[in-house]
Amino acid sequence: MSSKVVIRATEPGGSTPRQLVWRKVKIKKSLDEICHYMELTLPASERDKVHKHCKVEVLCQNPLITNSNNMLWVTTVMVDEVTFVADSSQKNMAVIGRSPARDIIDSSTVGMRLNQTKLEDIARSISAPFGITVGRLPGIPETGPVFMFTWANESPWQKMIVEAEKQGLIFTSNEMGHLYLWKVPNENSVRSEGFFLTEGQNTREIQHTQNGAEQFNEYIFRAGGQTVRETDDTCRNNRTKLISLTETNIPRDDLRRRARVEMLRRRHNRVKATVTGWGLSDEQLRALGTTNQKEIFWNPNFLIPVRIPSIGVNGNLLICQVEYTANPSVMKTDITLVDREAYS
């Protein structure tokens, strides 16, 4: 991509962003975490522009992006930490931030929602005091009701994640810092914009990891006086994972599905590919004609064709994590993929 990264910061309570001079940036988005995560390195000369709790926006500018300023948001974070670092060669500031939803996730409160309230309505009522909206992507139907939703001295979002998983949905942050509900694509829903990974064509580096450290032979889920078991035949050891849920009104099929998802997520091997740029190539952008209402950056929850003969991969895989990195002259993305059933 003929792209340039633009980073700007706004003081807490302010409304006027100031563009930053920067040296390095790393952004992580994952299906396993609601918040985007950012690490930013700035020269010490920028120290008056960024403080803790500032809002930092990362945008990508490309003449092929078809809007008025040829820019699109990549992420929005609130700064958690600013560290001044000096050595014999240079002085830097290290900035760490997370999506604005950090405030909901970190807060411990008490509350209750009754009367068969829809999941998204509960989420909106909890998010509203934090200035965060909750939406659904096009094609996602209205969420089902939650019989009773209570929390005490804990983050309500830990429970919201569980309720969403019960309905086959995922909560995640969007590029502007708000929240939305997404569904794992079905096995035929490959991205239409043309995302793909092919060894020797658009990959710079490939890793294939078989990790059994967090894998168990038997998963036991208990809730509401019920117990279900799921056995992983690919992990022939004596390790057992017991998970006791606080829900008292959970259908047995839902409990079994959650046990199976837990097993599949821990079992599946992961493929990691490194590519140049943060999204579609200039050639692909030209072929799209317009970027309006199109996804042009690599993102989690994309089902894409992957062909890597050296490790025997030839099929559609789900992106579960992306990690963008850049300095002023080079942009790249590390893309982690799994079988879609690990999140279905």
Q: What is the pLDDT of residues 120-171, one digit of tens each?
A: 999 999 999 999 999 998 888 889 888 888 888 888 998 888 888 888 899 9
Tens of pLDDT, residues 278-311: 999 999 999 998 999 899 999 999 999 999 999 9
* Interatomic CA distance for residues 101 and 173, integer angstroms: 7
Same domain as 255, residue 223 = yes
Same domain as 292, residue 307 = yes
Q: Domain range holding 335?
A: 197-210+269-342
**pTM: predicted TM-score of the whole model, two decimal places:** 0.92
The per-residue pLDDT for 51 is 95
Same domain as 335, residue 204 = yes
The per-residue pLDDT for 118 is 92
Q: Is residue 243 part of a domain?
A: yes
Same domain as 156, residue 128 = yes
Same domain as 206, residue 177 = no
Please state the domain count of the chain: 4
Residue where a domain stops, chosen among 226, 243, 267? 267
- Residues 56/18, Cβ–Cβ less than 8 Å: no
* Interatomic CA distance for residues 35 and 181, integer angstroms: 13
Same domain as 262, residue 290 = no
Q: Is residue 305 part of a domain?
A: yes
DSSP assigned state of 142: P
* Interatomic CA distance for residues 166 and 253, integer angstroms: 10
Same domain as 288, residue 204 = yes
Same domain as 139, residue 72 = no
Q: Is residue 145 part of a domain?
A: yes
* Cα separations in angstroms, 7 against 25, 49, 99, 328: 9, 12, 15, 11
Instruction: Give the CATH number of the domain where residue 131 resides.
Output: 3.55.50.10
Instruction: Give the CATH number of the domain where residue 304 resides.
Output: 2.30.300.10
Residues 6 or more apart whose CB falls under 8 angstroms from that of 38 comprise 25, 26, 27, 28, 56, 58, 75, 77, 95, 96, 97, 98
Look up residue 312 and give its amino acid: G
Beta-strand pair 4-10/55-61 = antiparallel
Q: Is residue 189 part of a domain?
A: no
Residues 6 or more apart whose CB falls under 8 angstroms from that of 138 comprise none
Same domain as 324, residue 206 = yes
Q: Is residue 201 part of a domain?
A: yes
- Residues 179/34, Cβ–Cβ less than 8 Å: yes
Residues of the chain with pLDDT under 70: 1
The per-residue pLDDT for 1 is 59
* Interatomic CA distance for residues 295 and 25, integer angstroms: 21
Q: Is residue 191 part of a domain?
A: no
* Helix (H) / strand (E) containing 164: helix 156-166
Same domain as 67, residue 177 = no
Q: Is residue 192 part of a domain?
A: no
* Interatomic CA distance for residues 31 and 47, integer angstroms: 33
**For the chain, how are helix, strand and coil distributed in percent, rounded to 5?**
15, 45, 40
The per-residue pLDDT for 88 is 85
| Beta-bridge mates of residue 231 | 218
The per-residue pLDDT for 269 is 84
Q: Is residue 56 part of a domain?
A: yes
